[in-house]
Structure 1
Amino acid sequence: MTWQLAQRNPERLTIHFIPWLTWSFVGLVAYGVGTIVQSIVAGNQPLTSGTAIAVALLVGMAFFALITGGQLGICQIDYRRKLVTVTSYGLLGRRHQERQLTDVKGLEVRVLRRAQYRLLLALRSGERLPLAPFYLISFSDQGIRRIAEALNVEPELIPEKPGGRR
């Protein structure tokens, strides 16, 4: 699940895409690894190769989850500067893209499943700019409507086949 927190003022709309379910999973893994390591340090459990492999696999899964779906995404629509800025922060660094607001011709909603979708800005050049670095999961279309309203476009729903892009 992803929180879509929107802040609006007369000059700009800022949307934060926060992957709280991924971060919760990583927190749970950190708690489990901490419990195992604490038990080993206290001498209640011996360090075996099986325990070391299990801890390494858990840590690896947590890093994989953070790299693939744990990025914080920020989309900012600035009316004063007439810019759309999309920034993502993650373990692999920061990615920042800016486009002119006049270059935006539409908002594509690529629906993978009922509540899982990806938001892309359709630009006049034919390019598609993702607003978030991952698929979003939401049971409400309120965030989509708010973004489309801010861009003054109608969202276009496009069904996407699971397992591959069209």
Structure 2
Amino acid sequence: MRTLKKMVVCLLLGVTAVSCSVSSSAIVTDYDREAQFGAYKTFYWSDDFQMENGKEEPLFVNTLIKKRLKSAIQDEMEKKGYVMDKANPDLLVDSRIVVQTRDINTGGGYPYFPSYGHGYCHFGSYGYGYYGGYQSSQEHKEGGVVIELIE
């Protein structure tokens, strides 16, 4: 069981590291400030994991990842004192994976290549280059997990 927990932590850290490569990751929490969470004792799953855009993304959605995420969520709920109850749950746990495709466009030039410039006693010193700039476009996927507790 400890190996599974370590694998879930490593998986979550890996996904976080990949998403941090371009922009910072954010954990957003929103809840009803007047809710009495001590009154809730049981929970169950509202549905299986869903994709927000309805498309299958094999990198982020497969049965192994779903199983590990569900297990991690269940472990955390049980650590907080909640008991799983299929018949009459106080809370429903709803989860979905959100995947977005983003393009990163970069460009630049080569400022110090030999050129027809301001040389001293020779032709072709450093100056305005005859090489053009470059344009690079990369596509990557960003993913996140949304977990909702529903009364």
TM-score band (shorter)? Answer: under 0.3
Q: Which has the larger radius of gyration?
A: 2
Structure number with greater CO (CA < 8 Å, separation at least 6) is 2
Greater fraction strand: 1
TM-score normalised according to structure 2 size: 0.24
- Please report the TM-score for the alignment, with normalisation by the length of structure 1: 0.23
Structure with bigger helix share is: 1
